[in-house]
Amino acid sequence: MNIIQFTKGDVMFDIGGRIITLRQLHNISANKLSKELNIDPSTINKIEKGTAKPSIDLLFKICDYFNISLAEFFDSQASELPADLLQLIETAKKLTPEERKSLNNFLQTLLERTERQ
């Protein structure tokens, strides 16, 4: 399998893998994503398998669909996080600052209880 990777210095980035992660995070199939973007379903499949490279226009469409910037797409730290943690982050982004503070307090309390046991 040929994986299309973006390389910058010592950092390699798997574009197809990032799209898969985003799809899983948002619970969307490759077929649905291709329909939403109005592209041939095989295009997403080929990009994810690493047999095709996306155009910059397509990358922007993908980013717009998932409501992220191109910089966030290529954020190597975000792509290394597990899908459930990414989902938690995406959910937290939708909360008000006060709600995020309450959530953080809850999580801190939960951790303290776990550490005591």
pLDDT digits (tens, 9 = 90+) for 90-106: 788 888 999 999 999 99
Helix (H, G, I), strand (E, B) or coil at 13: strand
Q: What is the mean pLDDT of each run of 10 residues along the chain (117 residues)?
A: 47 81 89 96 93 93 93 75 77 89 91 84
Mean pLDDT, rounded, of the chain: 84
CA dist., res. 117 & res. 24, Å (int)? 33
The pLDDT score that the predictor gives to residue 45 is 95
CA dist., res. 34 & res. 65, Å (int)? 11
Closest CA to 2 of 48, 40, 33, 42: 48
CA dist., res. 3 & res. 70, Å (int)? 20
